[in-house]
Chain A
Amino acid sequence: MIATSIKWTRHNLFGKPLDVVLSLLVIPGVLWLAYTITDWAFASAKWDIVVQSLRVLMIGVFPADQAWRAWTASAIIGAILGAGLGCVFCFKPHHGLVLLLVPVLLLIVDGGLENALPATGIIASTILGWALTSYVPLTRKVLPAAAFTGFIVIVAVMAPPGVGLWGGLLLSVLLTLVTSVLSLPIGILLAFGRQSRLSSLRIICTWYIEVMRSVPLILVVYWIWILMPVLEPQWGLADVARGMIGFTIFYSAYVAEYVRSGLQAVPRAQTEAARSLGMSEFDINRSIVLPQALRVVVAPLVGNVLDIFNSAPLVFIIGLTDFLRAGQMILANPQYGDRTFEVLSFLLVTYFVIGSMITYAARKLEDHMATGTR
């Protein structure tokens, strides 16, 4: 064991003169960095600020006495996401145990139930959704309808204190979900429109896609935010809704381009075979071309979701308090002026964990779609 690791080290780290130099520079550097970070994280960092501000980070300026509404919404989102995951990635009990560590950890660090209780609820409903679609395949069929109903419930539960109060990580996740779900069908229609034989439709779709891809997201969001009240003053749309519309309008163009690359990857012979069977163009596109196209572009489409999530902080431009902004808000309090690194570290780690979970789920989704096709 030790002999093999020495052999491995010599072969891989000290094989050539250049390797020796690099290793002598990098290894001490990494060790020093790791020591510094660990020392800071466990000895000098005061993490109590994160625990105390956890509610603000998670749900923003949502009123504390109404927090149960936001926690309920979070639990529903957890159930929907868990159920979605269960369709492609089977739940195992040890997954549940790892997830349950979160509330346990909170209970230990916090010493109270204020944070641990909602966390337990959210995690429990996630596990429930995950296990349900994993073990009862029949429930997968009703998932879209259930998710839609869940979303209506979320809005209904969250609305009473004021839509303008939505914030924190919950807002980031909601924005990502709504944008991802809405931009997919719009993007698919745009992609088909861009290939249409009707030249007017083709030109409109091409222009839409090209314009959106040539301007910054933040500008589109801002434009929609100031334009909506001018165009449709009687709707009185909340900032959150206008932000979601801006994101959807922008990201639909990107989805359209991904889908178009998938459409082009479907061999012409497939269309010809379907035509020779007398199928209508609509049926051909819906049942033959689109499913094959989407399989090809699963990875970029999930990458797009990640992109949306990581762009969510830009909604600060229209005055919304997303996860990152909530962190800044806490730091704006002079009393916490010396805790910058603690809060930013928490943000970094949380973004990293969520982001890697999305890419991990994407890999599972790809594996899932690859089976049985070739």
Chain B
Amino acid sequence: MNAIVEMKSMNKFYGTHHVLKDIDLAVTRGEVMVILGASGSGKSTLIRCVNGLEMYQHGRLVVDGFEMPVEADRRLGGERELAQIRKGVGMVFQQFGLFPHKTVLDNITIAPMRVRKKSREEAEATAMKLLDRVGLRAHANKYPGQLSGGQQQRVAIARSLAMEPHLMLFDEPTSALDPEMVGEVLDVMRELASSGMTMMVVTHEMGFAREVADRVVYIDQGSILEIGKPDEFFDNPKNDRARSFLARVLKH
């Protein structure tokens, strides 16, 4: 078993609202897993649990060999251990989350310098390579506010990659973008997937899911209803609710 993420009957509540119900899921190294579901189904919450931005109450979650504590234990501290696991798990957000007061280059180098204790020269060299990879080398000294949404999201991806993560989480990375910019971000993600990166992607881009995903997970009302190969899922969904979801999103 070579799972990087393992969830065993994981449960999460917001107060009395049961957000995630008995989630059993394993992500193997090198796999690209796309998580689909209507909004409010709990798919973002699911991947936010993986790097500890959300806490869960029951069950078990192991990320990269690290046992993520349940909420009751998180209250006792353990921020340092969390930071340890987050070093190896990158995350890309819907709203980019770039630091507006820092240049693109500083956005990328701050974590490697502070967390991995790299020298400025080393961090900047890596950053420039990553900017090359996402096609933004010329923008290194601009501020995020001077870039388009698609460019900002590519910087955000480069920033995560600078920490040399073993796993990348994408939380609706293209949902806040103008339609003409979606492609450039998906291209970067496609390239990243082909390079062998383990990825968990929450998205509404069905074309991307079908093309890039190794497995597709369908979540509805906090439960996993279907897991399978993209072709099987898109052509022949077994679950009724998955079928009607696909009918709704594939219509246009």
- Chain A positions within 8 Å of B, measured between CB atoms, are 269-270, 272-281, 283, 287-288, 291-292, 295, 372-374
Contact = CB atoms under 8 A, between A and B. Distances in A.
A274 B97 CA distance: 8
3 A-B pairs with the lowest CB-CB distances in the bound complex, closest first: A273-B97, A278-B87, A277-B111
A279 B80 CA distance: 9
Contacts of B39: none
B100 A373 contact: yes
A291 to B, nearest CB: 5
Contact of B93 (A273, A288, A373): A273
A43 to B, nearest CB: 56
Contacts of B97: 269-270, 272-273, 276
Main secondary structure of the interface of B (DSSP, over half): mixed
Contacts of B145: 373-374
Contacts of B83: 275, 278-280
B98 interface: yes
A276 B110 contact: no
A276 B99 contact: no
A373 B103 CA distance: 9
B155 to A, nearest CB: 12
Given A372-B143, A373-B100, A272 B93 contact: yes
A199 to B, nearest CB: 12
Contact of A278 (B84, B98, B100, B143): B84
Contacts of A373: 100-101, 143, 145
B189 interface: no
Interface in B78-107: 79-80, 82-84, 86-91, 93, 95, 97-101
6 contacts: A269-B95, A270-B99, A276-B53, A278-B87, A278-B163, A373-B100
> Which among B82, B97, B98 has the greatest number of chain A C-beta atoms within 10 A?
B97
Nearest to B143: A372
A15 to B, nearest CB: 43
A50 B112 CA distance: 62
A272 B95 CA distance: 11
Nearest to B108: A277
Judged by DSSP, the binding face of A is: helix
Nearest to B100: A373
A275 B163 contact: no
Interface string B43-64: 0000000011100000000000
Contact of A277 (B80, B100, B160, B169): B160
Contacts of A277: 86-87, 90, 110-111, 115, 159-160, 163
Interface in B86-140: 86-91, 93, 95, 97-101, 110-111, 114-115
Contact of A272 (B53, B100, B115): B53
Nearest to B91: A276
Contacts of B169: 276
A179 to B, nearest CB: 27
Nearest to A273: B97
A374 B100 contact: yes
A269 B100 CA distance: 12
Given A272-B53, A373-B145, 18 more contacts: A269-B95, A272-B97, A273-B93, A276-B90, A276-B91, A276-B93, A277-B86, A277-B111, A278-B84, A278-B115, A280-B83, A283-B114, A292-B99, A292-B101, A295-B101, A373-B100, A373-B101, A374-B100
A269 B101 CA distance: 14
Contacts of A287: 110, 114
A288 B84 contact: no
A372 B104 CA distance: 12
B85 to A, nearest CB: 8
Contacts of B100: 292, 373-374
A308 to B, nearest CB: 27
Contacts of A278: 83-84, 86-88, 111, 115, 163
Interface in B159-175: 159-160, 163, 169
A273 B115 contact: no
A276 B96 CA distance: 12
B96 to A, nearest CB: 8
Contacts of B51: 275-276
A269 B145 CA distance: 16
Contacts of B84: 278
A196 to B, nearest CB: 13
A288 B84 CA distance: 19
Contacts of A374: 100, 143, 145
Given A279-B83, A279-B114, A372-B143, A273 B163 contact: no
A263 to B, nearest CB: 14
Contacts of A270: 97, 99
B99 A288 contact: yes
A291 B93 CA distance: 22
Given A287-B110, A291-B101, A373-B101, A279 B115 contact: yes
A269 B84 CA distance: 20
A280 B111 CA distance: 10
B136 to A, nearest CB: 18
A278 to B, nearest CB: 4
A275 B90 CA distance: 10
A371 to B, nearest CB: 10
A265 B100 CA distance: 13
B90 to A, nearest CB: 7
Nearest to A374: B145
Contacts of B87: 277-278
B106 to A, nearest CB: 10
A45 to B, nearest CB: 51
B201 to A, nearest CB: 15
